[in-house]
Amino acid sequence: DAGVTQSPTHLIKTRGQQVTLRCSPKSGHDTVSWYQQALGQGPQFIFQYYEEEERQRGNFPDRFSGHQFPNYSSELNVNALLLGDSALYLCASSFLGRETQYFGPGTRLLVL
Amino acid sequence: DQQVKQNSPSLSVQEGRISILNCDYTNSMFDYFLWYKKYPAEGPTFLISISSIKDKNEDGRFTVFLNKSAKHLSLHIVPSQPGDSAVYFCAASPPSGNTPLVFGKGTRLSVIA
């Protein structure tokens, strides 16, 4: 049973560029949440997708957007990258109505 | 304003002894609590959870205690093993499931052989 997978594992971009991160949820899960983890901090909620729609959103600007596909996989897009966007981006999957979320290995983004 | 606080950034324990990791929360709407373990270069791994209708939940060497009146929970690991060395995150969520998790900043546990 495959767990949550994310790609790529590492990424280096320059300021102003755009990036797309990908996530495949755990088998049987229908809900995907994205979190940003800065160095020395706990993960911060970005947004959550269910049935291909954004259900909830944290305190992140519109430069952060996402998408969920019919097979429940998801993408996180960040436009106009800033140095402060450098972080570990974590995807978590769950089954709607269940509290426990399972995390992927993350994508480490470095913005230069 | 941090709603979930882990006030000890690090903790060192000898192998075989008990590790106690603490977590405090401020939002009384939180009713479900989770602990995650994170190794470097990996995502957080779910360890154990507790609902607010309970005050204790056990799973093998891991026990979580919840004190609702004090808005405090703790994770006990007995006996501690070197492989337990990792960063431990406390997380909380309000009712209605699938709501965003609110995390503390984590506590780095080092188990010394």
Q: What is the pLDDT of residues B62-90, one digit of tens each?
A: 999 999 999 999 999 999 999 999 999 99
The answer to whether the CB atoms of A90 and B89 lie below 8 A apart is no
The answer to whether the CB atoms of B41 and A105 lie below 8 A apart is yes
A:B CB pairs within 8 Å: 65
Query: Mean pLDDT, to the nearest integer, of A29-58?
Result: 94
Three-state secondary-structure class, residue B73: strand
What letters, b where the CB count within 10 A reaches 16 and e where it falls short, cover A30-39? Answer: bbbbbbbbee
Please tell me the predicted confidence (pLDDT) of residue B99: 74
Please check the confidence at residue B96 and state whether its pLDDT lies above 80: no
Given B4, B98, B103, which is nearest A94 (Cβ)?
A: B98
Nearest chain A Cα distance for residue B8, angstroms: 13
Question: Taking a C-beta distance cutoff of 8 angstroms, is the pair A47, A66 a contact?
Answer: yes
Locate the chain A residue with the closest alpha carbon to B96. A97
The answer to whether the CB atoms of A42 and B105 lie below 8 A apart is yes
CATH of the domain at B77: 2.60.40.10
Mutate to test the interface with A, among B10, B47, B98, B99 (most CBs of A within 10 A): B98
Neighbouring CB atoms inside 10 A of B93's CB total 22
Three-state secondary-structure class, residue A96: coil
Q: What is the pLDDT of residues B8-30, one digit of tens each?
A: 999 999 999 999 999 999 999 99
Q: Which domain holds residue B38?
A: 4-112
Residue-averaged pLDDT of chain B: 94
Question: Would you state the structure tokens that stand for residue B108, as one six-digit string?
Answer: 């780095």
Question: What's the CA gap between A47 and A43, in Å, rounded?
Answer: 12
Question: What's the CA gap between B74 and B12, in Å, rounded?
Answer: 16
Given A45, A97, A104, which is nearest B101 (Cβ)?
A: A45
Q: In order of start, what are the domains of chain A with their CATH numbers?
A: 5-111 (2.60.40.10)
Please tell me the predicted confidence (pLDDT) of residue A2: 75
Three-state secondary-structure class, residue B18: coil
Given B89, B97, B104, which is nearest A98 (Cβ)?
A: B97
DSSP annotation of A4 reads -
Please tell me the predicted confidence (pLDDT) of residue B94: 82
Phi, psi of A84, rounded to the nearest 5 degrees: -70, -5
Q: What is the pLDDT of residues B26-36, one digit of tens each?
A: 999 999 999 99
Question: What's the CA gap between B6 and A100, in Å, rounded?
Answer: 20
Neighbouring CB atoms inside 10 A of B60's CB total 8
Total tally of structural domains belonging to chain B = 1
